Structure 1
């Protein structure tokens, strides 16, 4: 990546809904910080509206949603819908957790970025975010 930024890549890490398992999200947040990114972690039990509003307020480059509850086919489409309604069209929506491959494909067809299943490497996640930002953000 040859593009130099005038600020660190900013990533919002979110837990949406009643999913109370946040250890993985915290590991991802720490890893992204270690990779030189600025991370905003929302904490537990956020709504899709709260996530999109925080993304706007914090001027993030990417939103990463950690979801283990099985609600991914509700959560991601709602976030995408709100992003479109609010004109947030240059922010990556990515995430991971327990999401079947067929659902990952369906969500990507709706506009969600690459999704990461259990066992994905932390480096792959950081590299994906960096590459997306280099290709899609202009600042």
Structure 2
């Protein structure tokens, strides 16, 4: 359970598209769970619409996308589009993987939260999610 909230933070971890490299996503999911969060892992080959629908059904606080395929400039905008359609403006969209700095800046301008490159510590990811959820979904 989060030290700040009176309930566990709920996070959906997803792999979108044909990116079959899920070791990092599983490590993140396990680490978030070990930090007291409730984690839903969707598995491989999800579509942006499937991710958003699952996030809505599971009433998550955050969606974390693990992406190594280079499709981040397609995947994140589509997820944001579906989130807007479903009025999920108070849900964090974040992620990590191989995303060049210039693209991270563009995605941030579109509304994507922090994007974590390889080598980021788990503590910093946990802290970021805790702080964001506390500031935006403290209910």
Q: TM-score, normalised by structure 1?
A: 0.97
Partner in structure 1 of residue 52 of structure 2: 52
CA distance in 2: counterparts of 1:37 and 1:86, whole angstroms: 24
| Cα offsets for 1:100-129 (capped at 9, x unmatched) | 000000000000000000111111101100
Distance 1:2 1:123, change over 3 A: closer
Partner in structure 2 of residue 90 of structure 1: 90
CA distance in 2: counterparts of 1:63 and 1:115, whole angstroms: 12
Give SS of 2:56's match.
helix
Partner in structure 1 of residue 5 of structure 2: 4
Give SS of 2:57's match.
helix
In structure 1, list runs of 5 or more residues that go unmatched.
Answer: none
CA distance in 2: counterparts of 1:55 and 1:69, whole angstroms: 22
Partner in structure 2 of residue 38 of structure 1: 38
CA distance in 1: counterparts of 2:128 and 2:91, whole angstroms: 13
How far the C-alpha of 1:3 sits from its partner, in A, is: 3.5
Would you say the 8 A contact 2:94–2:112 is kept in 1?
A: yes
* CA RMSD between the two structures: 1.1
In structure 2, list runs of 5 or more residues that go unmatched.
Answer: none
Q: TM-score, normalised by structure 2?
A: 0.97
Give the length in aligned residue pairs.
138
How far the C-alpha of 1:90 sits from its partner, in A, is: 0.5
Listed as ranges, the matches of 1:1-139 within 5 Å are 3-5=4-6, 7-139=7-139
Give SS of 1:129's match.
helix
